[in-house]
């Protein structure tokens, strides 16, 4: 049987193929595609019982119906997030859906700090200058983070890893979540209402999933509460930030800097080479014009350690499908179950 995988990155493919080889030998073949799954590309999945997807594939009701009619029975999402999948439609169609519920939290937490420090210390601007042999320090002054306040929105595994690093910098910790994490409390974190976190923090990092109640958790109201020189970092999901409100805030000169590894409309843009095309997304283009904004292409998770875990879990989920098993990674059970 051939299993098809969408949006497979160059550095990811050998890891995925090796794990498939170890698990299935010659019993199942793997077809890796660089293109993303959507209503235009879904015909390529015809006849594939198992379809492997990623966070930037579109699995709405239309695509899911086409998959089901084409013979697909399982969707193996190789990411933690699944806001791109219409789970109700999948259930109605009798499709099984799994995800990767856990991988290295350090990959994302460390990258969030990479963005924060690069913004605070003007690393990108400094590197561009020195490549031109311009060694002036004008405009490169940063701030000590020691004794300042870090606000962590979402204190699960990734948020807790981010908080441990902040604690190592000697920062005061404020947290916001539906439940308090004992590990974060042990670091001295104070859980406060979200409004207070945004008002008092010098650095805010987002680590919550994208759900209806977290959509645009950063909007005009919360941005107005932030300090004029605060730094905002989002390595979670693009929909956590209202891009229009952020652009308007940046236009006024507020905020010390913003680090975005995710973007509301990243599907069809991130992971692709758009360098020879006209950028038609005006909001993304405008973000790039601010010299205190750093945008990366959803790479926070992209360490060998994390991808190894993602690949292993994805293949294990497929093994469970063939064996008729389901567990903590199962989002939707097949109708027969």
Rounded Cα–Cα distance for residues 27 and 165 (Å): 45
The distance of Cα 229 from the centroid of its chain, to the nearest Å, equals: 25
Q: Kindly indicate the confidence band of residue 327, based on its pLDDT and cuts at 50, 70 and 90.
A: confident
User: pLDDT by residue (tens digit) across 138-157?
Assistant: 999 999 999 999 999 999 99
**Contact partners, residue 273, CB within 8 Å, separation at least 6:** none
pTM: 0.91
The answer to whether residue 69 scores a pLDDT higher than 90 is yes
The answer to whether residue 335 scores a pLDDT higher than 80 is no
Percent pLDDT > 70 in the chain is 99
Q: What is the mean pLDDT of residues 285-296?
A: 96
What the chain holds in terms of domains, given with CATH numbers, is 2-103+303-332 (3.40.50.720), 105-295 (3.40.50.720)
* Interior angle at CA 311, CA 309 and CA 315, nearest 5: 120
Which pLDDT belongs to residue 85? 96
Q: What is the DSSP string of 315-330?
A: HHHHHHHHHT---TTE
- For 90, phi and psi rounded to 5 degrees? -60, -45
> What are the Cα distances from residue 296, in Å, to 79, 95, 121, 175, 269?
18, 34, 17, 25, 12
Supply the residues annotated as catalytic: 237, 266, 298
Which pLDDT belongs to residue 336? 57
User: pLDDT by residue (tens digit) across 238-269?
Assistant: 999 999 999 999 999 999 999 999 999 998 89
Q: What is the mean pLDDT of residues 105-133?
A: 97
Are 82 and 331 in contact, with CB atoms under 8 Å apart? yes
Q: How many CB atoms lie within 10 A of CB 28?
A: 17
């Amino acid at each position: 049987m051939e299993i098809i995988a969408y949006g497979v990155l160059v550095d990811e493919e050998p890891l995925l193929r090796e794990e498939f080889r170890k698990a299935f030998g010659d019993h199942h073949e793997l077809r890796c595609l660089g293109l993303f799954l959507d209503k235009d590309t879904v015909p390529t999945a015809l006849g594939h019982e198992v379809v492997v997807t990623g966070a930037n594939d579109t699995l709405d009701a239309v695509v899911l119906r086409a998959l089901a009619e084409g013979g697909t029975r399982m969707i193996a999402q190789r990411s933690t997030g699944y806001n791109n999948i219409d789970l109700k439609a999948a259930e109605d169609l009798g499709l099984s859906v799994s995800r990767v519920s856990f991988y290295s939290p350090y990959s994302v937490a460390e990258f969030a700090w990479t963005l924060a420090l690069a913004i605070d210390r003007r690393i990108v601007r400094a590197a561009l200058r020195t490549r031109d042999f311009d060694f002036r320090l004008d405009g490169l002054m940063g701030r000590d983070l020691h004794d300042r306040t870090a606000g962590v929105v979402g204190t699960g595994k990734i948020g807790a890893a981010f908080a441990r690093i902040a604690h190592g910098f000697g920062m005061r910790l404020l947290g916001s979540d539906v439940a308090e994490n004992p590990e974060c409390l042990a670091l001295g974190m104070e859980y406060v209402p979200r409004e207070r976190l945004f008002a008092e923090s010098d650095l805010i990092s987002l680590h919550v999933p994208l759900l209806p109640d977290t959509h645009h958790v950063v909007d005009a109201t919360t941005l107005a509460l932030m300090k004029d020189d605060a730094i905002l970092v989002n390595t979670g999901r693009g929909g956590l930030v209202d891009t229009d409100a952020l652009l308007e805030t940046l236009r006024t000169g507020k905020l010390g800097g913003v680090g975005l590894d995710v973007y509301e409309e990243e599907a069809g843009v991130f992971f692709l080479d758009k360098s020879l095309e006209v950028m038609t997304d005006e909001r993304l283009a405008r973000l790039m014009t601010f010299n205190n904004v750093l945008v990366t292409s959803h790479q926070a998770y992209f360490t060998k350690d994390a991808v190894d875990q993602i690949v292993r879990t994805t293949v294990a989920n497929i093994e469970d499908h063939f064996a008729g098993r389901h567990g903590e990674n199962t989002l939707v059970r097949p109708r027969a179950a």
